[in-house]
Structure 1
């Protein structure tokens, strides 16, 4: 499993579409929002948490179409089907690699970009906590979407259409937790809901992704 994780990390950094692209997209979204709504500090403070969460979600979505496509093209997926390592574990490793190269950098960059949106000082810690709890769910759900569309030419648009509705609960509770924290309110309830969603996806989605891959590769 460690060898597979290191391989996926190397591919993500070499082939692009991971670390740098996600961060660049996150930066662009965060930079363009003040231009679109105007230089109004009060308004930016109100929408900052939601905008940062939406930017992180879209940045995660950006690299999903390459998550399994390269392995499908070079035959690695066929080898994983016959490997001693369970396919569910292999899918989980790929989701972890995606989170390390995409989700984790977004979590670390969010406080810096929050300055551009005039995020209240009380909201920085809760923003990082909510993203750290919620972004693993985005990677695991995205892996399931990638498994559904693997082998489909130009399946990026279909992948987005399939995954975005599944992302909505994570976005709602993650943004609400960050918003409550920034407003000085108690964010415990949305954080617990967000943690529940993440734990449920980590527990169930690898089995669904593996089942879809087995059917698609027969």
Structure 2
């Protein structure tokens, strides 16, 4: 009887033990990383300033003529937005790796997938979203035709989110390297090419009078696939980088 009672007590204790939820860990990581990002506003401003400075120099270095700038605007805005996103990727997991937080995330009861997804979301909110909101203003500087602004913003919303997700894989692979920026670029840039092609093509098509629904649908498919697969790949890469 005593053994049965002990078994019942153990089962009751097991039922009473709270099981950590998925979303509380996600939101906790999201809030923490957002607070850290706003405490380091200088790092958050780097990609925005890079985007602004490069686009400002385009008329000075190429041509001030509106026809030339209008022709270059879709591709130029997309290329510089891609490079600005890449500029901030190296620090995605590095601070957590250096202070030991990353090791705690690896042994936490919550799946690492959701922790990575939260970190990528913060990266996009502090880099991709500001770049997207700034793009129409810089499009005016490059004489982008009026019909292209809506598709420019929509394509960048979809595209920069995909860039952050894909970039998390390279950031996870190089997190243990002290100077992994060059290797990160070599790993990630080939994966960025399809997003760049369809993003710039969407804006160009609208400017030339053609529909951009096909390109936007492909960008949406890229984003959906990246949301599912990229955090899984980044989580595996983090385990290899930390434990290897």
TM-fit CA distance, 1:180: 1.0
How big is the alpha-carbon RMSD for the aligned residues of Structure 1 and Structure 2? Answer: 1.1
Q: 1:178 aligns with which of 203, 225, 229?
A: 203
Greater Cα shift, 179-188 or 22-31: 179-188
Determine which of 186, 211, 216 is the counterpart of 1:161. 186
Instruction: Structure 1: state its 5+ residue gaps.
Output: none
Residue 205 of structure 1 and its aligned partner are, at CA, apart by 0.9
What corresponds to 2:34 in structure 1?
A: 9
Q: Rg: which structure is higher?
A: 2
In the TM superposition, what is the alpha-carbon distance from 1:17 to its structure 2 partner?
A: 6.0
How do 1:136-215 residues align onto structure 2 when only pairs under 5 Å count? Answer: 136-215=161-240
Count of residue pairs the alignment pairs up:
218
Partners of 2:71 and 2:204 in 1: how far apart?
Answer: 8
CA drift of 1:183 comes to 2.0
TM-score (ref. length: structure 1): 0.97
How do residues 15-54 of structure 1 correspond to structure 2 at under 5 angstroms? 15-16=40-41, 18-54=43-79
Alignment TM-score, normalising by the size of structure 2: 0.87
Pair 1:86 & 2:111 matched: yes
The aligned residue for residue 121 of structure 2 is 96
Partner of residue 22, structure 2: none
Pick which of 115-124 and 33-42 moved more: 33-42
The 3-state SS of whatever aligns with 2:115 is helix
**Deviation at 1:34?**
0.8
Distance change in 2, residues 1:204/1:105 (3 Å)? same
Q: Structure 2: how far apart are the matches of 1:119 and 1:18?
A: 29
Per-residue CA shift, 1:16-70, capped at 9, x if unaligned? 4643111100001110111111111101101101111111111100111111000
* Deviation >4 Å, runs of 4+: none
- Where does structure 2 lack aligned partners over 5 or more consecutive residues? 1-25
